[in-house]
Structure 1
Amino acid sequence: MLVTTEREVLEENETEGDQPWQNVSQDERPVPIPTVEEVRKAIKSLRNNKAPGSNNISAEMIESGGKHLTRLMKNIDLPFVRGSLADVSLTSSSSDTSAERTVLRSDEIEVDFSDLTEEDKSLSAEDFDSLIVTMESEIQDLESNSLDSPDIAQVTERVNMWEDKMKEINFKLKRETAKTNNLRNNFENIKRRRLEAFMACFKHVSSMISNIYKDLMQSNLCHVMLTLENEEEPYLGGVQVCFVEHGKPCIGMASLSGGEAVMAGLALTFALHSFLQSPLLIFDEVDDALDANNIDRLVRYVNSHKDSMQITVITLNKKIAAECDVIVGVCPNQKLSGVIG
């Protein structure tokens, strides 16, 4: 029978140099080591007659336990040949006037010592306790030496250095990220404004070019349509111009004759001018590919829009020259250009 009192539990902890009691939870995460005073208070606060926990340790066992209880509290699984900790019973000594509790090891349990060596089996309780104290002291010395070693100090210094570098890098990263976001926002804003300006012009020209072409050709049987090759990014594609005449399929600019292409180009120029007027339009021999009918159409259209545009025409056509308000003639004069105004 192993008899251990509460007073002996506390005296053993004090005489062992306050060796720490380490309470390890089920998930093996370490907790702070209690002091002797904390152990005393914890034992006094235990309530008896309560069911044991998952480790089969009752409150009475904790109050009356000895060194074997310390091992149990460190979550060391004791091997049993038969029985378990739940078979350990408690009694009270009738001759003990101080009503100190005792722990009785029942005959129903048997500890398995087969894994111990003969040398370990021959150790007395005092030798075993001394060995535990020695080993714990050595562990504390190893922990103290490892924390004070130059290698740990150097590692700590390098860790601190890299932490400072990481803080500096993170600061620079945030600053550059902010700059990048600002540039991206500015780019997206310019891109949006460019698209809006282009689409405003395109929509205006698309709505005006057909009427201008009809007025220029003096015919209501023709129609002009503009389509974008890339509607989302119009700058990545071109603009398709399609001409439709009464009873004929739609044809593109490449299929027009020379005179028709010139008249279509003039209609597009006048449509752009109606959106954003230019102070001066210069036509360089636009009449070269025009027949007499198309020249008459061009002269009539220009004369009807004198108030909204000013045109300088370079031409050798007498009919166009005759309709101009001011004529400046250039001719050779003794191998030099001469001006006739």
Structure 2
Amino acid sequence: WETTGDDAFAVELLPTCRRILDGLARQDIDGDLLPEGRSLDGPITGVGSCASLSYIGDTAKNDWKDFGASLFYHHALLALSGMCADLGLPGSRSLRARADAVAAAARAAFWTGEAFAAWIDRAGVRHDDWITGNNTHAIITGLADEQMSAAIADTIEREREALLERTPGRVRLGLFAPGECSNAPEDYWNGGAWPLVSGPLQIALARTGRWATLERFIERLAQRTPVTERGFHEAYDGATGAPGHADGLLMNNGGFIWGLMEGALGLGLAGRTLTVRNRVAKTLLPATARCAWRGAIVELEWVAGDGSITLDDVPLPIVDGVASISAPARAKAPMRIRVAALS
């Protein structure tokens, strides 16, 4: 809906979206506002052994209360609240209040002081494993507040050898304990690199102003993760960087493009608004792009400059380094956005 502007489509799907969120609310068995999943006895033996599917992977143990499930529940509540507000539909305020309550509960349950824990088992034991996608995505949604976001970014900087240099987009720090993941050590979910993670990682580094680290990550991603004509492989070995599993998966290629556009190049969507940041990774300059947005063709150009942004040669107001562009009436002429980017 954000990209197409198809309001009828959004209205048609709204009842289904509400049912999904109500279903997640019913998964809160212990009354703390966070959904619980299944709890399995014995070692993890293969795909589908997880309680819920998130950035931790589908072959890993995350029994009962998975942070990733709470993370995406919060994001879905926020997104639906914003869509209802933009469309003038009822329920926006209650959805936002619910999202805020879920965020507060997740912070209380999962925050370790440096990052969000991976899961809490049925016995109440918190497993403080660092899951890269979980923590970086929490910065994007605002589940991580400003201080938490800075602490997460500090961890990325501190662990840059593992997360950025040796294995760009590593799923987790360290390895799972024996029996908690069916992948071999350094393979895929058990310490390997997953290109999808490059998306939230780029955006989180940009949101927290870690520009030098972002540029280094982009450079290492190009050097360390070979691609085929169909794009990224599904995963890369955590120790050697060797590609493995299938290539050309949409989630991996799409995740990278999401991070490149919103993180490295500073383009974002918020309901009916396109946001354009006036600072980008300098190694990408100059650059051009062309895309479709809500019935319009958008032509973008980035060059090194003074931080100004123009739309069809008209300067745009910039607030905190970001220009906001409202959705256009459908027109034949392309929208021309030029960013004289700080770097």
TM-score (norm: length of structure 1):
0.20
Structure having the larger proportion of residues in helix: 1
Q: Which structure exhibits the higher relative contact order, with contacts defined as CA atoms closer than 8 Å and separated by 6 or more residues?
A: 2
